[in-house]
A and B are shown apart, each in its own frame.
Chain A
Amino acid sequence: MDKQNKHIYWNPYFGGFLLGLLIIATFYISGRGLGASGAMKSSVVSIVDNASHQYAEQSAFYSKYVDGDKSPMNTWLVYEALGVLIGAFISGGIAGRIGWRTQHSPKITRRRRLIFAILGGVLFGFGSQIARGCTSGAALSGMAVLSTGGFVTMLAIFGTAYLFAYFFRKNWI
């Protein structure tokens, strides 16, 4: 296995085609689409619930997700997210891409990359709650069933990203 293997990725049309088939199968079997941010929400709910069950029950947000007997982590998306970690690990393992590192443009420092990663994450997490989904759940799976909200979210995400791309260009080019 030589180093060349590391950056060989699938043809995007092929990857997109397989992903489309997967989404069809997901809807056909489970009646719902994919997702990701929901699993992270469940994690937050679970942490807060464990820290203080009383606070969670009284909170307008958390009370929706804490049930007497069922753990907030026992959701479809949490199992799916676990699968994503496993699947990506297998793929990365086969390609020789596994290793601790911080990927960043050589034109910026590692610290800058990590700062923007956290801040971008905070924004994305916050926005994903308002929009009730992310690119996988709202946009991609929403578009698969022609959901109006899905299309609106998709346009809002990518449109805004393009609008603001200029301000973050130093991070990438």
Chain B
Amino acid sequence: MGPLIPNDIIPMEWNSVIALIIGIFFGFILEASGFSSSRKLAGVFYGYDFAVLKVFFTAALVSVIGILYLDYLGYVDMSMLYVHPTYLWGAIIGGMIMGIGFVSAGFCPGTSLCAVAIGKIDAIVYVLGIMVGIFVFATFYDFFEPLYDGYNYGNITLMDSFNINPYWFVFLFTIAAVLIFAGADLIRKRVKKVFY
């Protein structure tokens, strides 16, 4: 019955090793999909490369369907899984700032690590920038604390917020994703090609 480590089926000491192994697969998959290239990543915002859209939503759908299915079969106790907490305005404003950072630099932390691993200097300075940004936040923490800690709704899910059936949501989400993927290919055919 999963999750294995919180249920002590695998001892806690293995957590670090498992994290490392999972990270290796994560980095490999991202880099092999081309996410070590900032120009490829930025393509989704300009219509010349929709890899980000396809990888992101395929991964999100496969994982949510898989987790729901494992929960349904009784292999995983979904209530024991960590649900990212909802600090509403922190999520919105933090997300907006990240969005500008993403489109201006073409990286996010995970992909920048992949790019660092293959020797990209712009990724190295990006990571340094991230650390500076974190340092700035920490230095002015008292000023931002109300935004950071406010509007905390807890570890809520869409089912809690909107009273929807998760299976219906995932079904509709899947259909929407397929339509979006088709639309993306139509757009890419019409956009001027970029070589990178």
Contact = CB atoms under 8 A, between A and B. Distances in A.
Contact of A121 (B34, B56, B58, B105): B105
A112 to B, nearest CB: 10
Nearest to B131: A44
A25 B42 contact: no
A61 B82 contact: no
Interface in B18-50: 18-34, 36-40, 42-43, 45-46, 48, 50
A149 B29 contact: no
A1 interface: no
B31 A91 contact: yes
A1 to B, nearest CB: 15
Interface in A130-164: 130-164
B16 A76 contact: yes
B141 A26 contact: no
A144 B96 CA distance: 21
Given A31-B6, A82-B23, A146-B158, A88 B48 contact: no
A76 B128 CA distance: 21
B130 A37 contact: yes
Contacts of B157: 145-148
B3 A84 contact: no
Q: Chain A at the B interface: mostly helix, strand, loop or mixed?
A: helix
A15 B67 contact: no
A115 B15 CA distance: 38
Interface string A77-118: 101111111111111100101111111110000000110111
A132 B84 contact: yes
Interface in A21-42: 21-34, 36-37, 39-41
Contacts of A172: 39, 42-43, 45-46, 106, 194
A84 B114 contact: yes
Interface residues of A, number: 122
B109 A132 contact: no
A162 B53 CA distance: 12
A144 B148 CA distance: 23
A59 B6 CA distance: 31
Contacts of B42: 171-172
Contacts of A103: 37-39, 115, 120, 122, 196
Contacts of A123: 97-98, 100-101, 104, 129, 133
A70 interface: no
B98 A131 contact: yes
A148 B85 CA distance: 8
Interface of A: 7, 9-10, 12-13, 15-34, 36-37, 39-41, 43-44, 47-48, 59-62, 74, 76-77, 79-92, 95, 97-105, 113-114, 116-165, 168-169, 171-173
21 contacts: A12-B50, A16-B54, A26-B22, A31-B3, A37-B109, A44-B131, A44-B138, A88-B27, A98-B118, A120-B100, A120-B105, A121-B101, A123-B133, A124-B105, A126-B133, A129-B137, A134-B110, A141-B84, A155-B95, A160-B95, A160-B99
Interface of B: 2-6, 10, 15-34, 36-40, 42-43, 45-46, 48, 50-51, 54-64, 66-67, 70, 75-76, 78, 80-88, 90-110, 112-123, 125-138, 141-142, 144-145, 147-148, 153, 155-161, 166, 169, 192, 194, 196
